[in-house]
Amino acid sequence: MMLPGMATTVHTCFDKVIPYLEQYHIILCELDGHYDNSASFVSIETTCEQIEEYVLQNHSGKLDALLGFSLGGTIAVELISRNLIKLDHVILDAAVCEKMGVLTPIYTTIFSWAVKRICNGKHIPAFMIEAVMGKGNGRIVETFYKGTTLATVKKECKDVYTYGIKNTIEDFRGEIAFWYGEHEHYPAKTAKKLKLYLPNMQIQVFSKMGHGQMMNEYPNEYAHEILKVIC
């Protein structure tokens, strides 16, 4: 199963990667507020409940592998903390589990403003994009879903910027890997923090990469890294 990032879709995130994984049965989990005519995103918890219900009803409560990118990575962290479905392999690509405290409303306002401009086809200075997404990562805007609503982005930001890791994550017994680009700040901090709960977690840093850049610009190599984890 693949979980996309904030303000993206499963297709804008993963369509370049999927051809290199065609020998596998892949479940693409579209998030509320991230596809046409869908209701706004509600919360990470509600999303986990929906995923758990689907897996319990359709896959006997078990998945061989779960990959979550960005917001999808944070959702994956919550899923393995809840321990209601069995996951053999988990890849957290640039998950963020850092409470922003008093900066939460400021970051939410800035990010929501930027996403809205991008989705409306308006210009965002390259230095602003790179400040958040990593140096040389301007193409990340190609992955944004133009139908993303302001309500969805605000709810997602609120959940991500206030998310705290739960002690129950220590009960996870599957194999887990954490990926992030060299130019990513908060995912690096999250990886260090998660390592305290999950000492067997493998951390991999993609050299000279920003947020989602490996997946978006080097899909063949990205797929190869996936197979190294799940095979």
Torsion of Cα atoms, 185 then 191 then 196 then 198, to 10° = 170
Other beta carbons within 10 angstroms of residue 128's beta carbon come to: 12
How far apart are alpha carbons 96 and 185 in whole angstroms?
10
Q: How is the chain split into domains, by residue range?
A: 2-230
- Phi, psi angles (nearest 5°) of residue 55: -65, -40
Q: The whole model's pTM is what?
A: 0.95
Is pLDDT of 169 > 90?
A: yes
CB atoms within 10 A of CB 126: 12
- Contact 127/214 with Cβ under 8 angstroms? no
DSSP-derived secondary structure letter, 97: -
CB neighbours of residue 33 within 10 Å: 21
- Could you tell me the sign of the dihedral formed by the alpha carbons of 14, 191, 118, 116, in that order? positive
Residue 34, pLDDT above cutoff 90: no
Show the tokens assigned to 224: 């190869």
What is the pLDDT, as a whole number, of residue 206? 98
Q: Using one digit for the tens of pLDDT, what is the confidence trace for 61-90?
A: 999 999 999 999 999 999 999 999 999 999
Residues 6+ apart with CB under 8 A from 14: 2, 4, 28, 215
Secondary structure class of 208 (helix, strand, coil): coil
Give the tens place of pLDDT for each residue, 181-224. Answer: 999 999 999 999 999 999 999 999 999 999 999 999 999 999 99
Which CATH code fits 2-230? Answer: 3.40.50.1820
DSSP 38: P
- Mind spelling out the 3-state secondary structure of 118-181? HHCCCCCCHHHHHHHHCCCCHHHHHHECCCCCHHHHHHHHHHHHCCCCCHHHHHCCCEEEEEEE
What is the reported pLDDT for 147?
A: 85
